[in-house]
Amino acid sequence: SQKIEQNSEALNIQEGKTATLTCNYTNYSPAYLQWYRQDPGRGPVFLLLIRENEKEKRKERLKVTFDTTLKQSLFHITASQPADSATYLCALEGSGGYQKVTFGTGTKLQVIP
Amino acid sequence: DGGITQSPKYLFRKEGQNVTLSCEQNLNHDAMYWYRQDPGQGLRLIYYSQIVNDFQKGDIAEGYSVSREKKESFPLTVTSAQKNPTAFYLCASSRGTDTQYFGPGTRLTVL
Chain A residue nearest residue B38, CA to CA: A105
Give B-chain residues touching A49 at CB under 8 angstroms: 98-99
pLDDT in the model for residue A95:
58
Size of interface A-B (CB pairs under 8 A): 52
Distance CA B6, CA A42 (A): 11
Chain A residues at the B interface, defined by Cβ less than 8 Å, are: 4, 8, 32, 34, 41-46, 49, 89, 91, 93, 98-106
Say what the pLDDT of residue B56 is. Answer: 93
Mapping DSSP to helix (H, G, I), strand (E, B) and coil, where does residue B46 land? strand
Share of chain B above pLDDT 90, in %: 79
What residues of chain A score a pLDDT lower than 70? Answer: 94-99
CA of B103: which chain A residue's CA is closest?
Answer: A43
Mutate to test the interface with B, among A25, A32, A42 (most CBs of B within 10 A): A42
CA distance A37 to chain B (A): 11
Contact: B42, A34; criterion CB under 8 Å: no
Q: What is the DSSP letter of B107?
A: E
DSSP character at residue A18: P
Q: Is the pLDDT of residue B2 over 90?
A: no
Q: Which residues of B touch A99 (CB under 8 A)?
A: 97
Chain B CA closest to residue A104 = B42
Helix, strand or coil for residue A69? coil
Q: What is the pLDDT of residues B16-64, one digit of tens each?
A: 899 999 999 999 999 999 999 998 788 999 999 999 999 999 989 999 9
Give the pLDDT confidence score for residue A6 in this predicted structure: 94
A47-54 long-range Cβ contacts below 8 angstroms, 24+ apart: A47/A88, A48/A75, A49/B98, A49/B99
What pLDDT score does A96 carry? 52
A99: nearest CB among B45, B97, B107: B97
Cis peptide before B8 (omega within 30 of 0): yes
Which chain B residue has its CA at the smallest distance from A4's CA?
Answer: B42
Residues of B in contact with A105 (CB under 8 A): 40-42
- Please report, rounded to a whole number, the percentage of residues in chain B having pLDDT higher than 70: 97
Mean residue pLDDT of chain B comes to 93
For the segment A55-68, what is each residue's pLDDT rounded down to a tens digit?
899 999 999 999 99
